[in-house]
Amino acid sequence: MSLYYVQKFLFELNRSPQLQEAYTADRRAVLEPYALSDEEAEALTAPDIGKLYVLGVNGQILMHFAAFHQIEWQDYLQRMRDGIDDHGPVRAGVYAITGYEGTRAHSESLGQDRGVE
Amino acid sequence: MPLVYAGVCSHAPGIRGRKDLADPEVRDAFYGAFDGMRADLEASGAEAVIVIAAEHFANFFMNNMPSFAIGMADFYDGPIEDPGWLGIERFRATGDRDLSERVITEVMNTVDIAYAEEWLFDHGIAVPLSFLTPRFDLPVIPVNINCQGPPLTPLHRAWAFGEALRRAVDAVPEKVAIIGTGGISHWPATPDSGKINWEWDQDFMVKWCDNDRDALLDYDDLQVYADAGQGGFEIRTFLAVSAAAGGAQGTVHFMEPIPIFAVSCTIASYDLSTSDPAD
Ligand SMILES: [Fe+2]
């Protein structure tokens, strides 16, 4: 697990037009300097938004990566929900502190019966 | 000069970026409340504004995360986000390096902070400024409290920091305003984006208006996370303003849940005539 380096790469990508260009040219090559597992590198190159969410990437970083890939807002939210369905609960990071298991369970924990907008 | 204005407002990126997806009636009422805040800020005679924001990994990351940071530059560029996504064109906001340095020097007497001579504004500062100083011409001093990357700034330190800011502001000859941005309950950029804990928000703002230090410092991060989401961690910026307001009583000018903006959109301020920071 190297969530720190997954997020570090995304943090730097979000800030740097040069890195964005390099990523567009060769998604694999730009990941070389970061200590990533194969699973993490695959999620970053695909890109697999749902998997990145499950790995624990903070939404404040992930939403910009989605926007960079022209993924619309509602689609971005849905991909994270699908990620939970496909890969199980968030594994690390701030969203894992209460054992996150999806939007429905979360609504129930808040005593809210309506779904998300 | 004594602090001339203290208030808080929401800063969610959707406020500008997703404005066309919101119910126009409530959105326009919220925008109107921002206009009211701008009028109050202008009427205060403020010559500079300290914006206490919770930024979102734009400048500060876990490779070197300060509990507190204050900007010290003559200008700041933004937004760091894609302008189309955020709904705010690129701008260069006016700063005041000299005033920043004097504020920082005073704050450092009681709170250990980081300072930054370079700072790219993200939505935490850009969204409020786009309403409050739309030409980005009122000198701004950006401030960040770590509400993002745990371990987070303890609430009681955010309070001490707010008190230190007040001492610093009162000590300079300029008229200075303080505005906190962020929160309240929300689950930003997650599958739960759009959820709002309205009861929690109302309860929090009652405590904020009462400037009830004990109640405000009694929040516990794990419970905040469960009740108010990761976005709830941003109450640190509101608490710093409470402390800076020195016991003043507050008024909520606008507060409505706008799910597509992902928060209870809020505008509130303190009546500084009821403030006594020496208390
Ligand atoms: Fe925020």
Q: Do the Cβ atoms of A110 and B197 come within 8 Å? A: yes
Length of chain B: 279
Give the ipTM of the model, two decimals please.
0.89
Report residue A24 as tokens. 């567009």
Interface test with A, best of B187, B192, B197 (most A CBs within 10 A): B192
Residue B278 has pLDDT above 80, yes or no: no
Residue B19 has pLDDT above 50, yes or no: yes
Give bridge partners of residue B120 from the DSSP assignment: B77
- Specify the pLDDT at position A115: 45
Give bridge partners of residue B140 from the DSSP assignment: B49
Domain locations in chain A? 3-109
B85 touches chain A (CB under 8 A): yes
- Specify the pLDDT at position B279: 58
Chain A neighbors of B195, CB-CB under 8 A? 106-107, 110, 112, 116
In chain B, which residue's Cα lies nearest the Cα of A104?
A: B192
- Specify the pLDDT at position B274: 87
pLDDT tens-digit readout, B181-214: 998 999 999 999 989 999 999 999 999 999 999 9
Report residue A8 as tokens. 């570090």
- Specify the pLDDT at position B220: 95
SS3 A83: helix
Chain A neighbors of B230, CB-CB under 8 A? 59, 94-95
Q: Name the amino acid, one letter, at A31.
A: L
Residue B169 has pLDDT above 70, yes or no: yes
Give bridge partners of residue B176 from the DSSP assignment: B48
Give Cα separations from B262 to A45, A96, B92, B182, B198 (angstroms). 29, 21, 27, 11, 12
Give bridge partners of residue B254 from the DSSP assignment: B267
pLDDT tens-digit readout, B74-117: 999 999 999 999 999 999 999 999 999 999 999 999 999 999 99
Ligand 1 centroid to Cα of residue A58, in Å, is 12
3-state SS, chain B, equals: CCCCEEEEECCCCHHHHCHHHCCHHHHHHHHHHHHHHHHHHHHCCCCEEEEEECCCCCCCCCCCCCCEEEECCCEEEECCCCHHHHCCCCEEEECCHHHHHHHHHHHCCCCCCEEECCCECCHHHHHHHHHHCCCCCCCEEEEEECCCCCCCCCHHHHHHHHHHHHHHHHHCCCCEEEEEECCCCCCCCCCCCCCCCHHHHHHHHHHHHHCCHHHHHCCCHHHHHHHHCHHHHHHHHHHHHHHHCCCCEEEEEEEEEEHHHCEEEEEEEEEHHHCCCCC
Domain B5-262 has CATH 3.40.830.10: yes
Residue B69 has pLDDT above 70, yes or no: yes
* Local confidence pLDDT in tens for the 117 residues of chain A: 599 999 999 999 999 999 999 999 999 999 999 999 999 999 999 999 999 999 999 999 999 999 999 999 999 999 999 999 999 999 999 998 776 777 888 888 888 765 444
B193 touches chain A (CB under 8 A): yes
- Specify the pLDDT at position A104: 82
Length of chain A: 117
* Mean pLDDT estimate for chain B: 96
Domain locations in chain B? 5-262
Closest CA to B53 of B237, B265, B238: B237
Report residue B204 as tokens. 């929090």
Ligand 1 centroid to Cα of residue B12, in Å, is 6
Whether the CB-CB separation of B78 and A15 falls below 8 Å is answered with no
pLDDT tens-digit readout, B110-150: 999 999 999 999 999 999 999 999 999 999 999 999 999 99
- Identify the CATH class of A3-109: mainly alpha
Ligand 1 centroid to Cα of residue B278, in Å, is 31
Distance CA B80, CA B93 (A): 13
B151 touches chain A (CB under 8 A): no
Q: Do the Cβ atoms of B62 and A7 come within 8 Å? A: yes
Q: Do the Cβ atoms of A63 and B194 come within 8 Å? A: no
- Specify the pLDDT at position A103: 82
